[in-house]
């Protein structure tokens, strides 16, 4: 019996796949969840992955240059209230934001 994939492992897989896609202009992991040394990390609720679509990419609507945010969750896990609020706000203001629980959840992007 195999154990379920951890969020960290899924996050790495998603980043690796997106970095290879010509439809993605840039993508990076966002450090969240606190402070280290004297540097404040991203505020609570900030999704795990940030990026933007390449020029000329379109899916349903034009996403050329549009920012995206991905909150990575293990299957069965849900976003925190802060994460859900961030995702809702990002979507309302023109970005693309969603929860990914598997590689299948990002297939439309690549």
Domain extent, residue 40, equals 7-109
pLDDT at 8 over 60: yes
Residue 74 belongs to some domain of the structure: yes
Residue 1 belongs to some domain of the structure: no
Among 67, 70, 66, which residue's Cα sits nearest to residue 99?
A: 70
Query: If you average pLDDT over every residue of the chain, what do you get?
Result: 87
Residue 2 belongs to some domain of the structure: no
Residue-wise pLDDT for 41-78, tens only, equals 788 899 999 999 988 766 555 777 889 999 999 989 99
SS3 content of the chain, % helix, strand, coil (to 5): 30, 30, 40
Q: How many domains does the chain have?
A: 1
Residue 37 belongs to some domain of the structure: yes
Q: What is the CATH number of the domain that holds 17?
A: 3.40.1350.10
């Amino acid at each position: 019996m195999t154990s379920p994939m951890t969020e960290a492992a899924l996050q790495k897989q998603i980043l690796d796949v997106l970095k290879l896609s010509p439809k993605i202009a840039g993508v990076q992991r966002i450090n969240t969840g606190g402070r280290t040394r004297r540097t404040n990390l991203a505020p609570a609720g900030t999704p795990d992955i940030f990026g933007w679509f390449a020029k000329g990419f379109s899916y349903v609507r034009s996403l050329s240059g549009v920012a995206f945010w991905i909150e990575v969750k293990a299957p069965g896990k849900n976003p925190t209230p802060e994460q859900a609020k961030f995702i809702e706000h990002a979507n309302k203001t023109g970005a693309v934001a969603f929860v990914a629980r598997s590689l299948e959840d990002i297939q439309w992007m690549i």
